[in-house]
A and B are shown apart, each in its own frame.
Chain A
Amino acid sequence: MENNSQPRRTFLRYLGGSALGLAGLGLARSLEASGLPGHPARFYKKLSQKRVDCQLCPKRCRVDDTERGFCGTRENHGGEYRSLVYGKACAMNVDPIEKKPLFHFFPGSLTFSIATAGCNMDCKACQNWQISQSRPEQVRAYDLPPNQVVRAAQQVGSKIISYTYTEPVVFLEYVIDTARAAKKQGLRNCMITGGSIEVAPLKEAVQVLDAIKVDLKSFREDTYVRMCKGQLKPVLRTLETVKAMGRWLEIVYLVIPTLNDSEAEIRDMCRWIKRNLGPDVPVHLTRFYPEYQLKHLPPTPYSTLKRSHEIAQAEGLHYAYVGNLPNMGGEDTICPKCKKHVVERRGFGVLRNQLKAGKCPTCHAQIPGVWS
């Protein structure tokens, strides 16, 4: 999950200078949010005694009347499940697409990025825990219905909208409606997710998305439980589903010292990716910095990242990158056939893109991705 350090002010600066202005873009009154009926949620089943079975994610929360599920963004009102975050953006920013990171999807583009409060996991390393681990009424949010998201993206000149920062799965109805509206206007849509979602809602979302980046937190089931209050298997299922549906897919693996950084685990993951998704899915091995519940751990050592990168390459992954460590040189796209550096990057910037219609300029090998 990428860092969201300066969302609102930047956004307002963009909008402030535009013809759109701020009419109709009001601060959602967060104190009243819990009292509002919200927006009808989807992906649930009614049970007896006004309970509901949330079928959005593998947690499958059974939610009593007046209560919320694990994500805290959906509330049961007498057997009617309501989303409290639909149209309530708590973070907005214009980011380089490389920040997501998506390296094989319109490199060098800017993407209009939004988030609401909430997450269906609780990762100990979360960079955005102040919004992802809060309930909707605890964060300042803007009323920003789907059509206004699209207009705002157009106003700032972005052709891509990203659903990101927290966990788009918990605001999936908002994602789907916004992405649909964006598509009609010729915009692209990306979802940056932990991938913990049931198949039916995932498939519906993927229909309107163009690219998906999945944070794979670990390749061990017990680590998933311990580190994220999540499960590994459903995330692997998500990866396979997205791939099978033909949407552009990239994977991030945050390498955390002592928790998920063993050579065996990284090798197992790379083998699984190659076997089940193919060697062309980009895998970003990113550096951990102490955050949230893991402030006691050191940043990932350079040597660990280097070794992880070597393992990924040795296992046959064509596009293994090293992230959050700009000077290591692990951010360039290298043609697997002739080894030419076809896209050179530093940090979130593209220094040089030599691809010609998605092909290596030297050997003409096709580099997979969505380039134009």
Chain B
Amino acid sequence: MKHLAGTTEARAALAQWIRPLDTVGLKVNCLAGRQLSSHPELVEELVGLLEKIGLSRQQAIVFDRADNDLHRGGFSIRTAGKDYRCLGNDRAGYDPELTVMQSGASRFSRIATQQASVLINLPILKDHGLAGISGALKNNFGLVHNPNKYHLNGCDPHVAEVNAEPVVQKKQRLIICDALRIQVDGGPAYHPAAAETFGGLIFATDPVALDVIAWELLDKLRKQRKLPTLIADKRHPVHILSAAQKGLGVGERRYIELVSVTVS
């Protein structure tokens, strides 16, 4: 994160994106259960860092689609108290206003539209049977009430359209992809035989660039396991390209700088 922000301290980095008066929505991904979810430890660390830049713990809201998903991901549901809130959109509700996009219409999470002033996207990195890959862009399907309507045609152009909405564009400040464990094949569910302990976190402010890197990494791990690349497997993650074409980020690898840092 320090490298991404060009600072020498993590909290100075975070302070570039988050202000003390912000309410921070942390969108995790817990659909695949405890073994393949955004880690609660990562969230804990991040909330601790938010405290260090002047926010109280109550100014953080950890959320995903459903309480049940969060619970299975290892989080405790909290709707009040001095600690950060943690709840599903099913409990918090969806904005009554319908957002009409080019290829569909959705109600967005009230946490995203009404409660959080900024969003931090905390996806995991996993193979996805339909979209090819589930990373930063795909994780925001968890902001809408009807993601099931958006899985046709490899989730394209729906992923890009959801990410192009102002609620995402204006509020999403940072993405931290939890790649501590990566589902290399058979996703989006957790299949231990095809999961890899990678031990990495990927930081970005550009979700498209992050997904390009994640795709590259996933293909590399697939090759090591003698699995076909996503394109060879006819699961081309075209949603990443559509997002780039929509101007949501950088889609060409040659323009993306990847800084690798080993933490001992």
On chain A, the residues within 8 Å of B98 by CB distance are 129, 292-293
Question: Is the beta-carbon distance between B66 and A72 smaller than 8 angstroms?
Answer: no
- How many whole Å from A218's CB to the nearest CB in chain B? 17
Question: Is the beta-carbon distance between A49 and B186 smaller than 8 angstroms?
Answer: yes
Known: A70-B151, A293-B100. A135 touches B146 (CB 8 A): yes
Secondary structure class of chain A's binding surface, majority of residues: loop
On chain A, the residues within 8 Å of B32 by CB distance are 66
- Distance A206 CA – B94 CA, assembled complex (angstroms): 37
Question: Is the beta-carbon distance between A64 and B94 smaller than 8 angstroms?
Answer: no
On chain A, the residues within 8 Å of B33 by CB distance are 66
Known: A70-B149, A134-B146, A135-B146. A122 touches B104 (CB 8 A): yes
- Distance A34 CA – B68 CA, assembled complex (angstroms): 7
Q: Chain B, 146-185, contact with A by CB distance < 8 Å: what is the 0/1 string?
A: 1011011000000000000000000000000000000000
On chain B, the residues within 8 Å of A134 by CB distance are 145-146
Tell which of B31, B91, B148, B191 touches A49, judged by Cβ atoms closer than 8 Å. Answer: B191
On chain A, the residues within 8 Å of B128 by CB distance are 64
Q: B40 on the interface (CB 8 Å rule)?
A: no
- Distance A65 CA – B68 CA, assembled complex (angstroms): 16
- Chain A residues numbered 215-230 whose CB sits less than 8 Å from any CB in chain B: 229
Secondary structure class of chain B's binding surface, majority of residues: loop
- Distance A138 CA – B90 CA, assembled complex (angstroms): 6
Tell which of B69, B105, B145, B151 touches A135, judged by Cβ atoms closer than 8 Å. Answer: B145
Question: Is the beta-carbon distance between B90 and A137 smaller than 8 angstroms?
Answer: yes
Question: Is the beta-carbon distance between A34 and B66 smaller than 8 angstroms?
Answer: yes
Q: A62 on the interface (CB 8 Å rule)?
A: yes
Known: A62-B129, A66-B31. A135 touches B68 (CB 8 A): no
Q: Kindly name the residue among A72, A129, A135 whose own CB sees the greatest number of chain B CB atoms within 10 A.
A: A135
- How many whole Å from B55's CB to the nearest CB in chain A? 28
Q: A35 on the interface (CB 8 Å rule)?
A: yes
Q: B189 on the interface (CB 8 Å rule)?
A: yes
Tell which of A30, A65, A70 touches B148, judged by Cβ atoms closer than 8 Å. Answer: A70
On chain B, the residues within 8 Å of A124 by CB distance are 105
Tell which of B67, B148, B152, B191 touches A71, judged by Cβ atoms closer than 8 Å. Answer: B148
Q: A213 on the interface (CB 8 Å rule)?
A: no
Question: Is the beta-carbon distance between A65 and B104 smaller than 8 angstroms?
Answer: no
On chain A, the residues within 8 Å of B129 by CB distance are 49, 51, 62, 64, 67
Q: Which residue of B lies closest to A64 (CB)?
A: B129
- Distance A34 CA – B33 CA, assembled complex (angstroms): 14
- Distance A35 CA – B67 CA, assembled complex (angstroms): 9
- Distance A259 CA – B90 CA, assembled complex (angstroms): 35
Known: A122-B104, A293-B100. A138 touches B151 (CB 8 A): no
On chain A, the residues within 8 Å of B94 by CB distance are 138
Q: Which residue of A lies closest to B72 (CB)?
A: A35
Q: Which residue of B lies closest to A61 (CB)?
A: B151
Tell which of A31, A34, A35, A133 touches B146, judged by Cβ atoms closer than 8 Å. Answer: A133
- Residues of A in contact (CB 8 Å), total 31
Q: B188 on the interface (CB 8 Å rule)?
A: yes
- Distance A62 CA – B33 CA, assembled complex (angstroms): 21
Question: Is the beta-carbon distance between B145 and A66 smaller than 8 angstroms?
Answer: no
On chain B, the residues within 8 Å of A35 by CB distance are 66, 68
Question: Is the beta-carbon distance between A64 and B189 smaller than 8 angstroms?
Answer: yes
Q: B123 on the interface (CB 8 Å rule)?
A: no
Tell which of B105, B151, B191 touches A293, judged by Cβ atoms closer than 8 Å. Answer: B105
- Distance A124 CA – B102 CA, assembled complex (angstroms): 11
On chain B, the residues within 8 Å of A229 by CB distance are 104, 149, 152
Q: B187 on the interface (CB 8 Å rule)?
A: yes
- How many whole Å from B175's CB to the nearest CB in chain A? 23
- Distance A150 CA – B45 CA, assembled complex (angstroms): 55
Tell which of A31, A51, A61, A70 touches B67, judged by Cβ atoms closer than 8 Å. Answer: A31
- Distance A64 CA – B194 CA, assembled complex (angstroms): 15
- Chain B residues numbered 116-133 whose CB sits less than 8 Å from any CB in chain A: 128-130
Q: Chain A, 227-271, contact with B by CB distance < 8 Å: what is the 0/1 string?
A: 001000000000000000000000000000000000000000000
Q: Chain A, 4-41, contact with B by CB distance < 8 Å: what is the 0/1 string?
A: 00000000000000000000000000111011000000
Q: A100 on the interface (CB 8 Å rule)?
A: no
On chain A, the residues within 8 Å of B68 by CB distance are 32, 34-35
Known: A66-B32, A292-B105, A293-B100. A72 touches B146 (CB 8 A): yes
Q: Which residue of A lies closest to B71 (CB)?
A: A35
- Distance A59 CA – B153 CA, assembled complex (angstroms): 11
Q: Which residue of A lies closest to B148 (CB)?
A: A72
- How many whole Å from A187's CB to the nearest CB in chain B? 33
- How many whole Å from B35's CB to the nearest CB in chain A? 12
Known: A32-B68, A134-B146, A135-B146. A70 touches B90 (CB 8 A): no
Tell which of B90, B186, B188, B189 touches A31, judged by Cβ atoms closer than 8 Å. Answer: B90
- Distance A67 CA – B66 CA, assembled complex (angstroms): 13
- How many whole Å from B134's CB to the nearest CB in chain A? 10
- Distance A220 CA – B76 CA, assembled complex (angstroms): 51
Tell which of B105, B146, B149, B188 touches A66, judged by Cβ atoms closer than 8 Å. Answer: B188
- How many whole Å from A331's CB to the nearest CB in chain B? 32
Other A-B pairs beyond A32-B68, A70-B148, A133-B146, 17, CB < 8 Å: A34-B66, A34-B90, A59-B152, A61-B151, A64-B130, A64-B189, A66-B33, A66-B189, A67-B189, A70-B151, A70-B152, A72-B148, A72-B149, A122-B149, A135-B145, A138-B145, A292-B98
Q: Across chains A and B, which 6 residue pairs bring their CB atoms closest together, nearest first?
A: A65-B189, A72-B148, A35-B68, A64-B129, A66-B189, A49-B186
A-B contact pairs, 30 of them (CB 8 A): A30-B90, A31-B91, A35-B66, A35-B68, A50-B191, A62-B129, A62-B130, A64-B128, A64-B130, A64-B188, A64-B189, A65-B186, A65-B189, A65-B191, A66-B33, A67-B189, A70-B148, A70-B151, A71-B148, A122-B149, A124-B105, A129-B98, A129-B105, A133-B105, A134-B145, A135-B146, A135-B148, A229-B104, A229-B152, A293-B100
